[in-house]
C-alpha cells in the first residue's frame, strides 16, 4: 500500500509554514491567518492513501465550521478595509451596475411580458406592456413579496392568451425556487404554488388550465401536470423514472415544452452535464392519455427540436461535430432525415424558428454570425451586427411575426432589438444607459499556440493607446469546459478594469463549444490538462508580448473556471500575482459526493474509477498544494446559498494554502451568508461583492514592495 507524502499529510500533522506577518501590496499588512485545526484523516484509493486534513470543514452546519467562517470573514474584512481603491470601486461599480435594465420579452398577442429593474431598485420586477408603445405595468415586485433584498423573481411562462403568468421566486443565489401563478387582469396570485425545489422547466398547457413542470430531486427528474385549483399532492406523474424499460436516473435531466401550435408536449432528456446524449419524446395533446412517442432515442449524440408548420426540425451533432439542422421523421434513424442546413466550417451555436423563418447563429472564430433560411433550407439573408461581439439567438415563436435578439461586446453595453421577420427591419426595444464611452476603447482578437501546438483564440480589450511595455495591469478570465462557449459579452467588472487603465483578456480554451464537440472533447476526462495548458500558453503570450508581467497579472474564474484558478495556483504560481477563485471545484476526488456533483461525472470522470482516480489526482488542486511554495495572493469566494458547487471546496482549500504558502502574501476566504452560485442577490450586494473582488485584484497587481 502506497502513502502519498504530499501537502495534505504534512499540513495534517501540523508541519505547515511558520506563522508570519502577511503583506499585501499598497501597504496592506495583516497578522497570520486564523488558526485552523488540521485533523489527520486519510482515504484509501486503490491502494493509495490520500490525506484530507480539513475533512471536518465539509460539515457546513457544525459549530466549528461556523466559527471558522466567521473568523475568516473577519480576517478578509480586515484586508478590504485597508484596500485604498475600494471606496472608489464601490462608487464606480454602482454607476455601472445600478442602472435601469431589461431582459428579453415574451410576446403574447399585442402584450409584452418581461423583467425590468429600475435604477435604484435592488431586484428585477415582472412587467407587462400593452402594445409596442404602451406603458409598462408592474405585475410582480419582489420588494412587496418580502423584506429581504436578496429575494428575486423570474418569468417562467405566460399562457397563450396572456391571462396567466407563472413566475419563480428564489432566495439569494440558490438554484431552488418556488413557482407561483398570477392572474394578469386582477393582479392577484392564485393559491396554486409549487413548493421550493430545483425546477428544470415550467410551461402552461395550451388552454392555460394547467401547468407542466419538471422537478429534479434525489429520484431524478420527474414531469408532472398540475391542474390549477387542485392540490399539488394530487399532480399526476407524466414522465420519468423509466421509458420503454430503460431506467432514468439522477443524472438524466429534462424539461417539457409545448409546441407553438399547441399540439405536442415535447421532452428532451439530457444524459449528464454536459449531456453526452439527448433523447427526444413527444405526446399528442389532442389525444388525452396517449403514450409518448419517440423522435430520437438511444444515440450518443445531442439533439434539440422545434416543430413548425406541421414538421419537426432538429439541430444535432450526430455525425456532424459542428452541428447541422435536419427535417426529422419520427420513428426512423437520422440517416433517413433530410438535411436543411448542412454542417459547415463554423459551429452552429444557436438556432430558432420565428415567423416561419430559420435563424442560425454560427461562431466564426468565436464571433457571432447570423444567417436566415427558409424552412426548406434556402438562404434568405443575414443579420448584421455593429462590430465584433456576441449576439443572442432570435427569440420568439414560429407563429409570431416579431423576434428579439441582443448584441453586446466587451466594450459595447447590450442592446435588445425587435426584428420584423417579414421585412427584416429592426428597432431598439431597450438600451441601457451605462456610463461607458465605447469609442475610447478597442477590442481585438489574437491567436496563440498551446503546449501541443493547437491554435487558440483570445480577445483583448484596452483603452486606445494603452502602453504595451509590461508595466500595465491585466485581468484574464476563462472557463474551458462543459461545451460552453465563452463569448466576448459585456461585463460591468471588465468595464471597470478597462476604465482604470488595465488590459482585459479572454482566451477561448478547449473544453468549450467554440469550435464544436471536437473542441470540447479535447479537454474532457484524462485530457483536462489541455485546458490548463491553453490557459498558461495564453498567459505566456501576454507576458511575451508585453501586455503585462507576472507581478501585474490578475486572473479570475468561477465554478469550472474556479477549478481553472485552482490549477493555476498549484501548477504555475509564479505566473500570476493575484487570483480570484469563485464558487470553485477544488477537491476532485470527492466532488461527486456532494449536492449535484454527480451530474459532472460525464465531464470529469470520478475517483470511484481506478483509471480516472489517477488522472484526477494529478491535477486536483486540493491534492497538489505543496508546503513552502511562494503562492500568489488569492481570494476564495463562495457562500452558503451555493446549492450547485458545495462551498466545502473553498472552505477546505483556504486553510491548506494559508498553511502552505511561503510568500507572505494574502490568502483570503470571502464567504457570503446570503449569496450563491446563481444570480439573484441584490444590486447593493452585487456591487459590494464585485468591489471586494476587483479591489483585491487591482491592489495585488500593483507595484511590489521593495525586498525587506
| DSSP H/E element including 530 | helix 529-544
Set of cell numbers at residue 490:
459585456
Give how far Cα 452 sits from Cα of 483, 518, 536, Å: 20, 16, 12
Write out pLDDT tens, residues 470-501: 999 999 999 999 999 999 999 999 999 999 99
Mean pLDDT over residues 631-653, rounded?
94
Residues paired with 638 in a beta bridge = 671
Question: What is the distance between the alpha carbons of residues 372 and 382, in angstroms, rounded to a whole number?
Answer: 5
2: pLDDT strictly greater than 60: no
Confidence at residue 611, expressed as pLDDT on a 0 to 100 scale: 96
| Torsion of the alpha carbons at 647, 652, 657 and 659, rounded to the nearest 10 | 140
**Range of lowest pLDDT (58-62, 173-177, 533-537):** 173-177
The pLDDT assigned to 703 comes to 85
Local confidence band at 172 (pLDDT 50, 70, 90 cut-offs)? confident
Quote the cell numbers at residue 520.
470540447
pLDDT, mean of residues 426-441: 96
Q: Which of 552, 677, 682, 695 is catalytic?
A: 677
pLDDT in tens, 683-696: 999 999 999 999 99
**538-572 pLDDT, tens digit each:** 999 999 999 999 999 999 999 999 999 999 999 99
pLDDT at 679: 67
Stated pTM of the model: 0.93
Q: How many CA atoms lie within 13 A of 513 on its CB side?
A: 18
Name the residue among 386, 383, 360 with its Cα closest to residue 373. Answer: 360
Q: CB-based contacts of 362: which residues, under 8 Å, 6+ apart?
A: 344, 346, 347, 348, 349, 368, 369, 370, 371
- Confidence category of residue 707, pLDDT binned at 50, 70, 90: low
What are the tens digits of pLDDT across the range 202-252? 999 999 999 999 999 888 999 999 999 999 999 999 999 999 889 998 889
Please state, in angstroms and as integers, the Cα–Cα distance from residue 171 to each residue in 61, 148, 150, 175, 674, following that order.
19, 9, 6, 9, 8
- Mean pLDDT of the residues in the chain: 94
pLDDT for position 675: 62
576 vs 593: CA distance, rounded Å: 31
* Sign of the alpha-carbon dihedral angle for 108, 111, 112, 117: negative
User: What are the pLDDT digits (tens) for 594-628?
Assistant: 988 999 999 999 999 999 999 999 999 999 999 99
Grid coordinates given for 119 = 435604477
Q: Provide the pLDDT for residue 612.
A: 98
Answer yes or no: 450 catalytic.
no
Contact 58/683 with Cβ under 8 angstroms?
Answer: no
Assess whether 559 carries a catalytic annotation: yes
- Average pLDDT on 113-124 reads 96
Put residue 173 in one of left, alpha, beta given phi > 0 → left and psi -120 to 50 → alpha: alpha
Q: Kindly give the pairing relationship between strand 48-51 and strand 125-130.
A: unpaired
pLDDT of residue 9: 31
Query: Residue 414: which region, alpha, beta or left (left: phi > 0; alpha: psi -120 to 50)?
Result: beta
Q: What is the mean pLDDT of residues 317-344?
A: 96
Three-state DSSP class for 371? strand
Q: Which of 547, 555, 558, 546 is nearest to 577 (CA)?
A: 555
Q: Exactly one of 559, 661, 672, 682 is catalytic; name it.
A: 559
Averaged pLDDT for residues 369-398? 95
Amino acid at each position: 500500500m502506497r502513502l502519498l507524502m504530499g501537502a495534505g499529510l504534512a499540513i495534517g500533522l501540523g508541519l505547515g509554514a511558520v506563522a508570519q506577518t502577511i503583506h499585501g501590496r499598497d501597504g496592506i499588512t495583516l497578522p497570520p491567518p486564523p488558526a485552523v485545526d488540521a485533523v489527520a484523516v486519510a482515504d484509501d484509493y486503490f491502494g493509495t492513501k490520500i490525506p484530507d486534513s480539513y475533512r471536518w470543514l465539509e460539515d457546513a452546519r457544525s459549530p466549528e465550521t461556523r466559527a471558522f467562517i466567521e473568523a475568516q470573514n473577519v480576517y478578509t474584512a480586515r484586508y478590504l478595509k485597508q484596500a485604498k481603491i475600494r471606496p472608489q470601486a464601490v462608487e464606480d461599480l454602482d454607476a455601472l451596475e445600478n442602472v435601469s435594465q431589461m431582459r428579453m420579452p415574451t410576446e403574447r398577442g399585442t402584450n409584452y411580458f418581461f423583467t425590468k429593474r429600475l435604477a435604484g431598485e435592488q431586484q428585477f420586477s415582472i412587467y407587462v406592456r400593452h402594445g409596442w408603445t404602451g406603458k409598462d405595468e408592474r405585475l410582480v415586485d419582489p420588494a412587496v413579496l418580502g423584506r429581504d433584498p436578496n429575494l428575486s423573481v423570474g418569468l417562467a411562462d405566460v399562457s397563450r392568451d396572456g391571462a396567466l403568468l407563472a413566475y419563480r421566486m428564489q432566495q439569494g443565489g440558490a438554484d431552488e425556487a418556488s413557482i407561483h401563478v398570477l392572474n394578469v387582469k386582477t393582479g392577484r396570485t392564485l393559491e396554486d404554488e409549487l413548493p421550493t425545489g430545483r425546477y428544470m422547466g415550467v410551461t402552461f398547457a395550451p388552454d392555460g388550465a394547467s401547468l407542466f413542470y419538471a422537478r429534479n430531486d434525489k429520484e431524478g427528474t420527474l414531469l408532472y401536470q398540475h391542474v390549477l385549483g387542485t392540490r399539488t399532492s394530487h399532480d399526476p406523474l407524466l414522465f420519468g423514472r423509466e421509458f420503454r424499460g430503460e431506467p432514468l436516473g439522477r443524472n438524466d435531466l429534462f424539461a417539457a415544452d409545448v409546441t407553438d401550435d399547441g399540439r405536442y408536449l415535447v421532452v428532451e432528456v439530457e444524459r449528464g452535464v454536459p449531456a453526452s446524449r439527448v433523447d427526444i419524446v413527444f405526446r399528442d395533446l389532442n389525444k388525452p392519455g396517449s403514450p409518448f412517442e419517440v423522435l430520437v432515442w438511444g444515440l450518443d449524440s445531442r439533439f434539440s427540436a422545434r416543430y413548425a408548420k406541421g414538421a419537426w426540425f432538429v439541430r444535432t451533432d450526430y455525425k456532424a461535430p459542428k452541428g447541422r439542422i435536419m427535417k426529422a421523421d419520427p420513428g426512423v434513424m437520422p440517416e433517413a432525415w433530410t438535411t436543411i442546413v448542412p454542417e459547415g466550417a463554423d459551429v452552429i451555436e444557436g438556432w430558432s424558428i420565428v415567423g416561419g423563418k430559420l435563424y442560425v447563429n454560427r461562431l466564426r472564430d468565436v464571433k457571432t454570425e447570423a444567417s436566415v433560411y427558409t424552412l426548406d433550407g434556402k438562404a434568405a439573408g443575414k443579420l448584421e451586427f455593429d462590430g465584433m461581439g456576441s449576439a443572442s439567438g432570435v427569440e420568439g415563436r414560429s407563429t409570431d411575426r416579431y423576434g428579439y435578439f441582443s448584441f453586446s461586446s466587451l466594450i459595447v453595453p447590450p442592446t435588445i432589438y425587435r426584428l420584423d421577420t417579414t421585412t427584416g427591419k429592426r428597432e431598439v426595444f431597450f438600451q441601457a444607459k451605462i456610463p461607458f464611452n465605447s469609442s475610447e476603447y478597442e477590442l481585438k482578437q489574437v491567436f496563440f499556440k498551446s503546449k501541443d501546438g493547437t491554435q487558440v483564440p483570445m480577445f483583448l480589450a484596452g483603452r486606445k493607446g494603452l502602453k504595451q511595455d509590461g508595466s500595465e495591469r491585466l485581468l484574464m478570465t476563462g472557463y474551458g469546459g462543459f461545451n460552453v462557449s465563452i463569448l466576448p459579452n459585456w461585463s460591468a467588472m471588465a468595464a471597470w478594469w478597462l476604465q482604470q487603465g488595465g488590459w482585459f483578456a479572454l482566451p477561448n480554451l478547449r473544453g468549450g463549444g467554440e469550435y464544436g464537440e471536437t473542441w470540447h472533447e479535447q479537454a474532457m476526462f484524462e485530457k483536462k490538462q489541455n485546458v490548463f495548458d491553453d490557459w498558461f500558453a495564453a498567459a505566456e503570450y501576454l507576458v511575451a508580448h508585453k501586455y503585462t508581467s507576472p507581478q501585474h497579472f490578475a486572473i479570475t474564474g468561477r465554478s469550472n473556471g474556479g477549478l481553472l484558478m485552482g490549477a493555476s495556483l498549484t501548477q504555475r504560481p509564479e505566473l500570476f500575482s493575484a487570483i480570484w477563485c469563485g464558487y470553485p471545484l477544488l477537491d476532485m476526488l470527492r466532488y461527486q459526493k456532494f449536492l449535484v456533483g454527480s451530474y459532472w461525472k460525464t465531464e470529469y470522470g470520478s475517483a470511484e474509477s481506478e483509471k480516472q482516480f489517477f488522472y484526477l489526482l494529478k491535477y486536483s488542486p486540493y491534492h497538489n498544494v505543496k508546503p513552502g511554495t511562494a503562492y500568489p495572493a488569492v481570494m476564495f469566494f463562495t457562500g452558503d446559498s451555493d446549492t450547485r458547487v458545495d462551498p466545502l471546496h473553498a472552505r477546505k482549500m483556504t486553510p491548506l494554502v494559508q498553511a502552505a504558502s511561503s510568500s507572505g502574501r494574502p490568502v483570503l476566504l470571502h464567504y457570503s451568508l446570503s449569496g450563491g452560485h446563481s444570480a439573484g442577490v441584490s444590486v447593493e450586494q452585487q456591487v459590494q461583492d464585485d468591489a471586494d473582488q476587483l479591489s483585491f485584484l487591482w491592489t495585488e497587481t500593483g507595484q511590489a514592495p521593495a525586498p525587506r
